[in-house]
Chains A and B, each alone.
Chain A
């Protein structure tokens, strides 16, 4: 079993420059996540939940405050943190095995160990028989399983999930939520799930963090004191779900246009790697 990390976020602030003006994206975020805990973060678009995840994984830099993993400040990306994006982001020129193997390229494992680890993870996400399939031959749900395997193959201390099932149909989504829960229990690692699906957040989370936008802040953290397996239609489940939904209802102005952040983000990312060469 992998080592599970403790994530401590203290007084985190993040802002973007838009046309010379500072635009706060995240304001005074403080959050502690225990080893092996599953935390769901929900919020409407523009509340900075994805930015928070990108800061934790290390794709986004320049913040005030602290993000500590086991007491060490996060700087840049690291193999001890894995992420699953909303799109599967598999490389279309590599088959399933090799896509998963990308995560191990810098792991220091021997080739034999790598093969073994890849096989274990293909089994973990239930894709035996598809080792040599190419991404275009896979369904959306299968592709996302491969992406989960790629993120887990390094046995990270913490796994981040950025709306991983957002683009899937309802049936597949429900099934993969179950699968993700099974993987979480088996691996025992810390997971943070960003989603806009309240039911998903309650189904999987030990606690649900509700964020509100402009600037992104934590509105409330709601514990989910329910045993697994959780029954989505049970009274206890819907009670918690309603509590989370009420946080949204109280906040009527949530759905405004999203600020134009993506563009600047994009340019920054491109120039970063271009200077690296």
Chain B
């Protein structure tokens, strides 16, 4: 079958839904036909019932808001510090020489290796979790901000000098817009990492409420429908984050759309 024909069967806009729908169908059939009787695979209907229960009782709202709250704080702290740090690292040779080597060493350490230390400093509560999430947000923002600032074309800086720009004008009118796409990539990565890290922190520092704790509860009580429901929610949040960021990028960096890197 040619490509033109397949697009008649499934409109392009819906093509991404084909695979999930097929899997859902297979899942439903496996349970309904009695092909799988394992307690590890509950029916889609059971997960749906659990979703209705979690939504109705308000348990989902509590868990999800606790997770998003942690994520937001961790992201704000980590990316805020990361942005300032990246600007300094990118714009000051002196600062780069002073702290660059330490930074590049620290970033090689797996985030999870910090958990014992974080728990000793902050305990098992939200402090440690937010610190962990902030660290996950920090590194991608620093690296991409640094990269963005370092790769501002020399040609643009010369134009700024010819136009007698002050250092502030140079920063706000040349360096910031020129580095913006790269900084945005860093923030995008950082948001994705913080969501992953939020779940990691909740799972590894199992105290309090959160979507991670919902998963733990499901596992401990062997409620597979709860575990699967948690996984779906996590996936949906990730999907929404990505969609929002994509739309935001399109709006803020419209000029980049058809600008092939000429320098």
Contact = CB atoms under 8 A, between A and B. Distances in A.
Interface of A: 57-59, 77-79, 81-83, 85, 87, 89, 91-94, 102-103, 105-106, 134-137, 151, 266, 269-271, 273-277
Contact of B163 (A79, A136, A275, A277): A79
Task: Give the residue among A92, A103, A270 with the most B Cβ atoms within 10 A.
Answer: A92
Given A92-B256, A92-B259, A93-B177, A274 B91 contact: yes
A102 B91 contact: no
30 contacts: A57-B162, A59-B162, A77-B161, A77-B164, A79-B164, A81-B162, A85-B158, A87-B263, A89-B155, A89-B159, A91-B174, A91-B177, A92-B256, A94-B255, A102-B159, A102-B163, A102-B173, A105-B165, A105-B169, A105-B173, A136-B255, A151-B162, A273-B157, A274-B91, A274-B92, A275-B92, A275-B94, A276-B167, A277-B92, A277-B167
A93 B255 contact: yes
B31 interface: no
A277 B162 CA distance: 17
B233 to A, nearest CB: 38
A276 B170 contact: yes
A120 B247 CA distance: 38
A269 B157 contact: yes
B258 A136 contact: yes
Given A269-B157, A277-B171, A92 B163 contact: no
A95 to B, nearest CB: 9
Contact of A271 (B93, B161, B169): B93
Interface string B225-263: 000000000000000000000000000000110111011
Say whether chain B's binding surface is mostly helix, strand, loop, or mixed. Answer: helix
A141 to B, nearest CB: 15
B93 A274 contact: yes
Contact of A59 (B158, B165, B173, B178): B158
Contacts of A94: 255
B93 A103 contact: no
Contact of A106 (B155, B164, B262): B164
B196 to A, nearest CB: 32
Contacts of A106: 163-166, 169
Task: Give the residue among A79, A89, A93 with the most B Cβ atoms within 10 A.
Answer: A93
A87 B155 contact: yes
A78 B260 CA distance: 31
Interface residues of B, number: 32
B163 A103 contact: yes
Given A105-B169, A277-B91, A277-B92, A59 B164 contact: no
Contacts of B165: 105-106
Interface in B149-199: 154-159, 161-167, 169-171, 173-174, 177-178, 180
A269 B162 contact: no
A93 to B, nearest CB: 4
A94 B167 CA distance: 19
B152 to A, nearest CB: 9
A88 to B, nearest CB: 9
Contacts of A105: 163, 165, 169, 173
A266 B174 contact: no
A57 B166 CA distance: 17
B167 A82 contact: no
A59 B91 CA distance: 20
A12 B76 CA distance: 55
A276 to B, nearest CB: 5
Contacts of A274: 91-93
A263 to B, nearest CB: 11
Interface string B135-150: 0000000000000000
A92 B173 contact: no
Contact of A275 (B93, B158, B258): B93
Given A92-B262, A93-B180, A102-B159, 4 more contacts: A105-B165, A136-B260, A274-B91, A275-B93
Nearest to A271: B93
B165 to A, nearest CB: 7
Nearest to B258: A136
B6 to A, nearest CB: 34
Contacts of A276: 167, 170
Contacts of B255: 92-94, 134, 136
Contacts of B256: 92-93
Contacts of B259: 92, 134-136
Contacts of B159: 89, 91, 102
Contacts of A91: 156, 159, 174, 177-178
A77 B162 contact: yes
Contacts of B91: 274, 277
A137 B94 CA distance: 40
A89 B164 CA distance: 16
B93 A78 contact: no
A273 B163 contact: no
Contacts of B167: 276-277
